[in-house]
Chain A
Amino acid sequence: MSLLEFENVTLKFGGVIAVNDLSFNVEKGEVFALVGPNGAGKSTAFNLISRFYEPSAGRIHFDGHDLLAHKPSEVATLGVARTFQNNELFDHSTVLQNLLIGRHRHRKTNFLAEIFFSPSVRKQELQNRHMVEEIIDFLDLQPYRDKMIAGLPYGVRKVVELARALATGPKILMLDEPASGLSVEETTDMRWWIDDIRRQMGITILMVEHDMGLVSSVCDRVLALANGAKLAEGTPEQVQTNPAVIEAYLGGAA
């Protein structure tokens, strides 16, 4: 069984059909990309998985669970982590605190124990701190550990968002345009990280990306969308040479 399954999902906002009868499967361990022109419904598909939107029809399964039966906050608990297209970090906290929020889903203590900071809370905090440090080490965030997000450059914020998503210890990582706004070098770094996350940590990756260079270098399979519907699915080469995809991007012959 696939890790993530979209079954004939449709989402309508009034008369606008944002996602139209979309079906696809993401297999365990692969890197899967959603591509398509602006407004094709890529981010909307992410928001459907995060349960920010309620689909008008269809089903979404993740790791044997019916996602539609869960609350938005429970999706993370099932093992889905994500980043946002335009950073959604906690601006008035340090990088470290942002990453520690990522550990929230593993929390075992309740607020009463936390008011007294009982030994179990202390132990859990030390453990969280240790896990977070491993991720800081992995993504080279040491210089920024105690810096406030509000003062960090854009490129670093992107990495912090990736780190925060990784800190949740997910089964699937959803990256919404991981390379947008990054310099060429930063994009190369991102490429190697995505590769490492998949190989070393064994995390499945689902991403939305416009940079076809990045997509073809890291992705196993690509799904091209236009107007909320599936255009083509296959390896990066197959999709890039598909006439329907070329038409969607460049327009048909006049």
Chain B
Amino acid sequence: MRVHFKTSYEQDIRFFEDRWTLFLYASLVILAFVLPYIIDDFYLGEMTNVLIWAVAGLGLMLLTGHTGQASLGHAAFLAMGCYAYHILVKYGVTFIIAFPLAGIITGVVGMFIAIPALRLRGIYLAIATMAMSILVDDIIVLTAPWSGGVSGMFSDPLNLYWIQIDRWGTPVAFYYVVLVVVILVTLGYANILRSPTGRSFVAVRDSEVSAQAMGVDIAKTKMLSFALSCGITGLAGALMGMFSGVFNNETFSVVISVQLLMMIVIGGLGSIHGAFFGAIVIGFLPQFLSISKGWVGDVIGGSAVAIPGLEFGVFGMILIAFILFEPAGIYGRWFKIRTWLELFPFYRKGMFKRQKSFLKTERLQ
């Protein structure tokens, strides 16, 4: 087991508890940067997709995982970010301005949506936000002159100063753009978590009553959480639009919202790692299924079987399995395995078992 002998308060603030962890994460980033030289364009495209989902996952994680506000409406914010960016680009705004602006616009809209949502909690909030998801479909159709409505919109290659970046033409460059966005968002997220804002989010999640007694303004905190969460999701939406090349009112359906929520639950609520683990599952599962379908077809003879709805069936089963056997998600499981290895042979079965919770103060309000 690694024991840290702390000699300064700086050590509690640092991202990495020791050199070894720093080394591991640095290697991961370096690996991500040299990846285009290792794998071919198809898998690089899949990687890009996973990273974009990870950004969207981080967005929802901030709201659901850290502030405890369930949302089934985040596809709406993906759509908002996507359309905001592409409409701005259509009017000649350059990528470097349009991209952050799309995030800010989505964030501001999210903040206003939070105002009525402040009165709702738990399942009721999830239902109300789900309505957002359904609503945005109609809004896109109604605003057809700008959004293209049902016939959709094409994503132009993005201009970054002297080069043109396009998902199909220059997949490597596009991958790098996404990677840089992922790294920046993750750093900002981690910074939020280690400062008062992040702590106030967690406080609101765990006990609103006592957060209030500590001087945390619940309404403002929730609104800020919505704004930041929607902003990040908006950025992911813009990238998603660029990635798919063409999109219309049906691209960002309720199904995407559900998938996003499933993703962070599978990955592990309340951790940055969870968003990435979840994105890997969600991103690679369809490919894995189609590959294994072909394989099953070969084994039983005859052509590949087509089973409608297979993907969602498998998603559903995975989700149920996680909720039953590992509510802490992939990251939670990984954490347990790591502790087991670190403490071997002293790991106790009950180590991560939640103690029977004591009576909470009768919930006020």
Indicate whether A125 sits within 8 Å of B217 (C-beta atoms), given known contacts A52-B364, A97-B202: no
**Distance A71 CA – B207 CA, assembled complex (angstroms):** 17
Taking CB atoms, residues of chain B closer than 8 Å to A72 are 212-213
The answer to whether B213 touches A82, judged by C-beta atoms less than 8 angstroms apart, is yes
Indicate whether A111 sits within 8 Å of B216 (C-beta atoms), given known contacts A84-B361, A121-B195, A154-B358: no
Q: Which of B210-251 contact A (CB under 8 A)?
A: 210-218, 224, 228
Q: A101 on the interface (CB 8 Å rule)?
A: yes
Taking CB atoms, residues of chain A closer than 8 Å to B355 are 150-151
Interface residues on B, range: 35 or more
Number of interface residues of A (CB under 8 A): 51
Indicate whether A114 sits within 8 Å of B359 (C-beta atoms), given known contacts A90-B206, A125-B13: no
Interface of chain A: mostly helix, strand, loop or mixed? helix
The answer to whether B224 touches A111, judged by C-beta atoms less than 8 angstroms apart, is yes
Indicate whether A117 sits within 8 Å of B194 (C-beta atoms), given known contacts A50-B212, A104-B216, A129-B9: yes
Taking CB atoms, residues of chain B closer than 8 Å to A130 are 9
Taking CB atoms, residues of chain A closer than 8 Å to B196 are 100, 103-104, 107, 109, 114
Q: Which residue of A lies closest to B10 (CB)?
A: A126
Partner of A104, one of B9, B200, B357: B200
Q: How far is the CB of B218 from chain A (nearest CB, A)?
A: 7
Taking CB atoms, residues of chain A closer than 8 Å to B12 are 96, 129
Which of the 9-residue segments A10-18, A73-81, A187-195, A233-241 touches chain B? Answer: A73-81
The answer to whether B214 touches A105, judged by C-beta atoms less than 8 angstroms apart, is yes
Taking CB atoms, residues of chain B closer than 8 Å to A85 are 361
The answer to whether A168 touches B214, judged by C-beta atoms less than 8 angstroms apart, is yes
Q: With A73-B212, A111-B224, A115-B192 given, can you name 14 additional A-B contacts, CB distance below 8 Å?
A: A50-B212, A53-B364, A73-B216, A77-B215, A88-B213, A97-B202, A104-B199, A104-B203, A104-B215, A107-B196, A114-B197, A150-B354, A150-B355, A168-B215
| Top 4 closest pairs, chain A to chain B, by CB | A76-B215, A105-B215, A114-B195, A88-B210
